[in-house]
Structure 1
Amino acid sequence: MASTTGKFGKPAIEHSNPLARTLLEKLDYDQLTNCMRCGFCLPACPTFHETGMEPASPRGRIAMMKAAVDGLTVPDQQFKDQMNLCLGCRACEPACPADVKYGQLIEQTKEAIAEHAHYTAPVKILRNTLFKKVFPKRGSLKLLGGTLALYQKSGLKKMARASGMMRLFPKHLAEMESIMPPASSKGVVERLGTFYPAQGEKVGTAAMFRGCIMDVMFAGTNVNTVELLSAAGFDVHIPDAQVCCGALHAHSGEINDARALAKANIEVFKKLDINYIVSNAGGCGALLVEYDHLLMQDDHYREDAKWFAERVIDVSTLLVAKGNPLRFAEQAAGQEEVKVTYQDSCHLRNVMKGAHAPRVLMKKVANTEYIEMVDADRCCGSAGIYNVVQPEMAGDILAHKMEHANNTQASYMLTSNPGCLLQMKLGIEKHQPQQTMRAMHLVDFLRERMISSK
């Protein structure tokens, strides 16, 4: 029996189970006890909505965490399964009257689970490759982008489909391959450089966070983001030495790697004289804005992490709140309005509080009619790599999402996160709305319709 006193002023409790000891050490006991079991989180939770099961709700998961820490239960496989079933969308947080930091609790729990996980050799190799050798390294990302581009353009993609080779992969992975956008080894820095000046009256200086996968699979969106910011009056820095935000690491239990990436980014951006650090991906932005929490125990980085987090803002929020008005093309005579709808990025809405600005911008575009989708604020099932590791639940959530999307009769499904964008593309492909529908990043939609002042 080992005696562990853990952090956050929790009582000393003896546990014979190794995972329970680690949970006691890592979990914020104050947050566990803050949960009043009121149930306000239940209607907001996608997995509870799908299953109707208490353990698949935030309240249920917190109860399981506390029971394990208090020694009332042993964290078994069912415990792990329910924690891994959580999307991490954090829709429960705005609904919580006690302001329980559920997102922090679930990440602390997943970190503990990851420390004691017994991965198969292939999974261990894959995790090590992605989390330590690909996402953190720009050179590896460029190589990945170039390799994917070669696969897509050389005819290998058509050959793989024609030969039936894709049938060797799980169905959900084959489906994801079919909707992948064109990849590239040339990101935003290779296309625009590390500085892009403001057009017209300057209103501020921003630094763009380009992301990792974002700059490989959606480099055009990064370019469009910079051009929108410039048109709105911002000088834009794009530091080339920046690295992955660490969100995928944090969500997968690799918290120490996430902290290392956060420190690297803070070092890079702290050298710049900037007003804002701009994100165009809700998933990235939600971790960037919480770097202060991620590094709160680090005496060396605590203040700089706070400096960083205070400057993080989503591109749509910055454009609406501080930017010069963007000029959009006028509606042509006799031209019919285009219907657009919007799928919220969970992390943009629930963590960055950025639900309002995207809708303001969409409504300013001429020749468009904005249609609010039912449950636009409910997760689409992407959630980082959730749709890869939990394909059944992600598929159920997506099917319900597409019912609401189809009811809007919209021609454009817009969103503000690359994972959501891919998930909505998959939804359109699988569920075939009655009308022609195109999934698109909000930034690309705005840039396509903007009048340049150059």
Structure 2
Amino acid sequence: MRCGFCLPACPTFRETGVEPESPRGRIALMKAVADGLMDPDQAFQDQMNHCLGCRACEPVCPADVKYGQLIEQARDAIEDHAEHSAPVSGLRKLIFKGVFPHRSRLRLLGKSIAFYQKSGLRSLARGSGVMKLLPKSVREMERILPDASGQGVIERLGTVYPAKGEPIARVALFRGCVMDVLFAETNVNTVKLLSEAGFEVVIPREQACCGALHAHAGEMEQARDLARRNLEAFKDAGISYIVSNAGGCGALLVEYDHLLSEDPAYREPAREFSDRVIDVSRLLVERGRLPSFADEEANAANPVTITYQDSCHLRNVMRSSDAPRQLMKQVANVTFTEMCEADRCCGSAGIYNITQPEMAGQVLEHKMENARDTQARYLLTSNPGCLLQMKLGVEKHGNGSPMEVKHVVDFLYERIAGGGTSGKP
């Protein structure tokens, strides 16, 4: 089937109008390579790498084509034969093998970034001009990084956190890697919000990176290794759900069954694991004993306006777009304004905004036009990459707007009735 329903859903096709920049075009290229009609040359590799991986094509596909699986297989095949330069090869090895699979090294990374941010080194680096030696996309990301920490959610709360009142269920938090280094406070707020809603929360200490960045970059075997580690980490936790607060992580976690489908030892455990994965917003809406939420610096006569940017993977893979909106609409003294094309990718896409800055920038600029039109005081999202990208968008294209970008969980936890807008301890 070559119907073309995917074309208007695809961000890169909408930006370029070029068939090879669409899901349909990329699948045709994959088939041509598989049939031996063309070589997997640099042009082919570029088209595969231009894909954001947002998977907006999947919900609109009448044939239910699993495009996300196809693009990851293509990138995996590309990496099998790739001849990277020495610097690129070294950087990939450092990121995918040296840092992300190792929790202790992630903590060290967090401490190092925190030292850089708080010791004066950041001001020195910016003032001396040394930052100009880095690519523009890296410099832009450095400017909007949140305060990092070497103290993740386990170091702050322990591995078990009790429910407030009679427990509804025992759940596990998937703490992630980027989330626990750059957004540790969001992880903490997630646990406390779940507790307020009646859930006992456990945080398995041995859990690893989900493997999403590896899978998107064509490092599929490393992604499988990380998946196996996570299956082992969660298997004896005695839980009803595995809770994700990052759309990108959750989207791979729910597909561990596919990722390990060829591994007879882990096929069934992977299916059981994936069946229990749920986004925090959906769990709160469907099972939670929700507290009252209110923005106490506003009132019914002068409510604060908020809007929401969908995490592509949360919407298109986990199919959870209504739950975050339902939660936001329960906050007193708040008006929710739907952003035009809120389901369109922001251009973050893992590290796409660093590796493909031109296309990511075009996508972001159009996104910010719609964000500004909402005149919202807060722009909320459910994924760390989206959060950073939207912060960059406000800085570059906000035209002086006071708009603040927050994770949905942080916004809600700070507005538990009686807590005010400054946050809760």
**What TM-score, normalized to structure 1?**
0.91
Question: Aligned to 1:205, what secondary structure does the other structure show?
Answer: strand
Counterparts of 2:32 and 2:129 in 1: how far apart (Å)?
49
Deviations 1:47-70 (A, max 9, x none): 000000000000000011111111
Q: Which residue of 2 aligns with 1:299?
A: 264
Give the percent of matched residue pairs that are identical in Structure 1 and Structure 2: 66
Q: Which residue of 1 aligns with 2:3?
A: 38
Q: Which residue of 2 aligns with 1:128?
A: 93
Counterparts of 1:213 and 1:409 in 2: how far apart (Å)?
30
Counterparts of 1:334 and 1:282 in 2: how far apart (Å)?
32
**2:394–2:401 contact (8 Å) kept in structure 1:** no
1:285 aligns to 2:250 (yes or no): yes
**1:410–1:435 contact (8 Å) kept in structure 2:** no
**2:58–2:66 contact (8 Å) kept in structure 1:** yes
Question: Aligned to 1:100, what secondary structure does the other structure show?
Answer: coil
Counterparts of 1:123 and 1:241 in 2: how far apart (Å)?
30
Q: Which residue of 2 aligns with 1:382?
A: 348
Q: Which residue of 2 aligns with 1:107?
A: 72
Question: Aligned to 1:344, what secondary structure does the other structure show?
Answer: coil
The aligned amino acid for 2:70 is: L
Task: Please list, as runs of the form range in 1=range in 2, the aligned pairs for 1:173-184 lying within 5 A after superposition.
Answer: 173-184=138-149
CA shift at 1:334, angstroms?
Answer: 7.1
**2:295–2:415 contact (8 Å) kept in structure 1:** no
Structure number, greater radius of gyration: 1
| RMSD of aligned Cα (Å) | 1.3
With over 3 angstroms needed to count, the CA separation of the structure-2 counterparts of 1:364 and 1:163, relative to structure 1, is: same
Counterparts of 1:309 and 1:104 in 2: how far apart (Å)?
16
Counterparts of 1:333 and 1:82 in 2: how far apart (Å)?
50
1:159 aligns to 2:113 (yes or no): no
Q: Which residue of 2 aligns with 1:431?
A: 397
With over 3 angstroms needed to count, the CA separation of the structure-2 counterparts of 1:330 and 1:261, relative to structure 1, is: closer
Q: Which residue of 1 aligns with 2:192?
A: 227
Deviations 1:146-202 (A, max 9, x none): 000000000110111111111111112111100000000000000000000110121
Counterparts of 1:182 and 1:335 in 2: how far apart (Å)?
35
With over 3 angstroms needed to count, the CA separation of the structure-2 counterparts of 1:330 and 1:382, relative to structure 1, is: closer
CA shift at 1:268, angstroms?
Answer: 0.9
**1:108–1:253 contact (8 Å) kept in structure 2:** yes
Q: Which residue of 2 aligns with 1:397?
A: 363
With over 3 angstroms needed to count, the CA separation of the structure-2 counterparts of 1:202 and 1:48, relative to structure 1, is: same
In structure 1, the gaps of 5 or more residues are 1-35
CA shift at 1:75, angstroms?
Answer: 2.1
1:118 aligns to 2:83 (yes or no): yes
Q: Which residue of 2 aligns with 1:23?
A: none
Q: Which residue of 2 aligns with 1:340?
A: 306
Task: Please list, as runs of the form range in 1=range in 2, the aligned pairs for 1:25-424 lying within 5 A after superposition.
Answer: 36-329=1-294, 336-424=302-390
The aligned amino acid for 1:145 is: G
Counterparts of 2:125 and 2:117 in 1: how far apart (Å)?
10
Deviations 1:16-37 (A, max 9, x none): xxxxxxxxxxxxxxxxxxxx11
In structure 2, the gaps of 5 or more residues are none
Counterparts of 1:243 and 1:432 in 2: how far apart (Å)?
36
**1:344–1:355 contact (8 Å) kept in structure 2:** yes
Counterparts of 2:314 and 2:418 in 1: how far apart (Å)?
27
Counterparts of 1:133 and 1:56 in 2: how far apart (Å)?
33
The aligned amino acid for 1:183 is: A
**1:327–1:452 contact (8 Å) kept in structure 2:** no
CA shift at 1:73, angstroms?
Answer: 1.9
Q: Which residue of 2 aligns with 1:26?
A: none
**1:46–1:379 contact (8 Å) kept in structure 2:** yes
The aligned amino acid for 1:232 is: A
The aligned amino acid for 1:422 is: L
CA shift at 1:329, angstroms?
Answer: 3.1
Deviations 1:335-363 (A, max 9, x none): 62111000000000000011000000000
Counterparts of 1:411 and 1:144 in 2: how far apart (Å)?
32
Question: Aligned to 1:398, what secondary structure does the other structure show?
Answer: helix
The aligned amino acid for 2:361 is: G
With over 3 angstroms needed to count, the CA separation of the structure-2 counterparts of 1:378 and 1:431, relative to structure 1, is: same
**1:338–1:367 contact (8 Å) kept in structure 2:** yes
Which shifted more, 352-361 or 332-341? 332-341
CA shift at 1:432, angstroms?
Answer: 2.2
Question: Aligned to 2:2, what secondary structure does the other structure show?
Answer: coil
**1:406–1:434 contact (8 Å) kept in structure 2:** no
With over 3 angstroms needed to count, the CA separation of the structure-2 counterparts of 1:47 and 1:394, relative to structure 1, is: same
Counterparts of 1:430 and 1:71 in 2: how far apart (Å)?
45
With over 3 angstroms needed to count, the CA separation of the structure-2 counterparts of 1:214 and 1:42, relative to structure 1, is: same
